Structure 1
Amino acid sequence: MLRRIRAASIATLCAFGSATAAAAGGLIEEIGLQGRIPGTPEPLALRVRVTNPGTTSQAVELVADVGSGRSQARATEQSSSVDRVSVEVSLGPRESRLVDVPIFSGSGDTVEVAVLDRSGRVLERDSRELVQRSGAVMALLCAEEAVCQAAESRISFGGSEEDRVAKRRGLAFEFVRQPADRWWGWNPAHAVVVAAPLASLAAEQREALELYARHGGVLVLVEELVRDREFLSPYRATPTASPQALGLGRLYRAASVSGADFDAAFTGASLESLLQPRIRSEMNEPGWARKRLATSLDFPSLGWLMGCLVVYIVVVGPLNFWALRRLGHVEWAWVTVPIIAVAVGVVLYGASAARRPAELLVDQVAVEWMDDASPIAAIDLGVRLVSPARATATVPLPEFTVLMSHSLLPKDMFSLRQPDGGRRMILSRVPAIEAPVRQ
């Protein structure tokens, strides 16, 4: 009998172990561009491998927490903000998938990833602290490694002696193995050199290169290797030696990696620009526009409050006691003072409540960065919600929107805060954000 019980217990443990092993899990594969991250907060690609070892389909939630140099647990204990991005992932039997998630982060942050089942149970957790490696990143996308080596050599040794010294000290090179599918996958690079046939890239990878430049990057096309007349055709009608504005960024075109037009992108003033720390001065533009175009909230001024306080002191003090002395009942002050205080409080509350909005207001200001050669634009979107009471609001956003942390941006930028000070970002096929709205 005892042996049967032991056998049953062992069978139960084995069954439990099998069930646990069959649970889906995830692991951080890469953050940034092949591990390269910027020193200042920027949109980055977080690549996570999610695996379902089971024989049945499974839906999980991938949650990424980004904190400023501390783990999620410690941040929660210290009431510090943690930005949270969550993505729902449906996996087939024994399927392993790479999931790219946009995060807004930089050197010194800690990224924690957890895979949750439908009940919210943590199936697997992984974390990584972001550390910047020195050097402005030059990303080289080539069909062959020999071409990348030739481009690296030409960039490193081209230009004057001062240029070469500055490059040795300030540039770092990355041979890109897998082109990014979204523009924020290229974002850690100060410049991207394309020396491979664009026909070999998928449509979303070609679009990612264009949008990277439109968001402020530098794109260098080697014409003899690109072999694609359609890509950015409105910008390629001029001679190759002249750089062109492409949204917020710049486009350089070179006939080959051995020509002077290729050197122009990495010498002189162009080199100085590449070596400078990237500071997105345009990030405050939605806030600047909203101050002038969006709903204006009328709050009581300090002068109005001080005036009300002076009136209250005069009424509850000298005027109140003068009237009671005339009536011959100074002892009634025990009753009149509280009545006056309550009356003034009601008046102040009513005056303040009359100025508050009567319904949920959503201000959405978009600043589009574009040029005269194309109708495509990079968009900075500022959203502000104003609610007369506590509520939960869902804000639809364009697909693949990258949300910027309120604590890292200029004042009056996009902010959806939870009561604990953090943000929760829920991404789906068409991303939406759901967060409590504070009064």
Structure 2
Amino acid sequence: MFSKILIANRGEIALRVLRACKELGIATVAVHSTADADAMHVRLADESVCIGPPPARDSYLNIPSLLAACEITGADAVHPGYGFLSENARFADILAAHGVAFIGPSPEHIRIMGDKIEAKRTAMQLGIPVVPGSDGAVTSEVEARRIAADIGYPVLIKASAGGGGRGMKVAHTPEDLEVALGTARSEAKAAFGDDAVYIEKYLAKPRHIEIQVLGDGNGNAVHLGERDCSLQRRHQKVWEEALSPALNESQRQEIGETVAAAMRKLRYSGAGTVEFLYEDGEFYFIEMNTRLQVEHPVTEMITGIDIVNEQIRVASGSPLSMRQSDITFNGHAIECRINAEDPRTFAPSPGRISYFHPPGGLGVRVDSGVYQGYVIPPYYDSLIGKLIVHGRNRVECMMRLRRCLDEFVVDGIRSTIPLFRALVDDPDIANGVYDIHWLENWLGSHD
């Protein structure tokens, strides 16, 4: 087991990793920008190192500074959390070259799954169902027209190196295709430094279903069921739940075992999430995230498995602590991402939190790094924290969520709590009948 882990992240996820380390008896090192000197994870870590000024490129994305922090403190492993360098194969390679373990999958698997075209090709080879579309990057408008005609309009143009909805455009007709292709390429180049794009069939009303997996790199892998992340705004997840209200037990077991079998073939190591669009009983692979997900707590709530603990154990060379037959699903869990944003315009609302009162009680978890008097800086994402609730079934879970949202107080800044109070009372949400376009349509009707 590792003796000291450096946590190369900030906010609630840094605190989440720190807690797992402490429960394993592992010393912790917090790194922080000057803007995060008073952050909770910095206060609770055994050691802390300032790695630069507020801009992420000069601190949390600054690989030389992170390496120096490892050397200064004697950290023998790095946990990257999510975002920042968590899916950066070069960072993993550099750490290995300096004798520091990267708590995540191999650089090879990060590279494969980080390239959307190669990821789709690999998924097909592993027997994972994929969305109909191009076999690789589309290099010309003529080729794009041929592929679109073959699979049928509407089509979705996506950046190969993309994420978060950038470099993603829909073409409903051949006339739309030229403009959509050019715009997607320009956005992809600006956002990722790579203008490669590919084409997929555009699904009208799919749900976003993802499968959580764990592997130990030795051919052992399990799935921890699915999460439904269909409530999204601008391709960003807002509300996640497990298990999905759209799937039955047979579908759950079939897609879960398909993914777990693929991870065994791949000899995948650590935590990962395979994401699908789901429509009319069919699953279509869209990407794999080779890291811890923001929404991992809902899976932990229904399985009782500490995913971060497993990440650390596997990275240290231990085998998985469970087999597929050991995993059971208990009840229902929902996560709401509480952001420092105006609940109507979604404009960021950084500033000092004058009063903070999180909810509590049976089946309630709040993952947050903020506290009363904490100043949310304007330089990073606007996440205040994650409210996760668990119930014996979805009805009980929704009732508990409603109660928790009424208890949750964040004063001094705007937050998205009022948005969730409205959502939890909507009949479609109560009945679990929504798709990836539902929230934006709902927001448009409530302007």
Scaled by the length of structure 1, the TM-score of the pair is 0.26
The higher radius of gyration belongs to 1
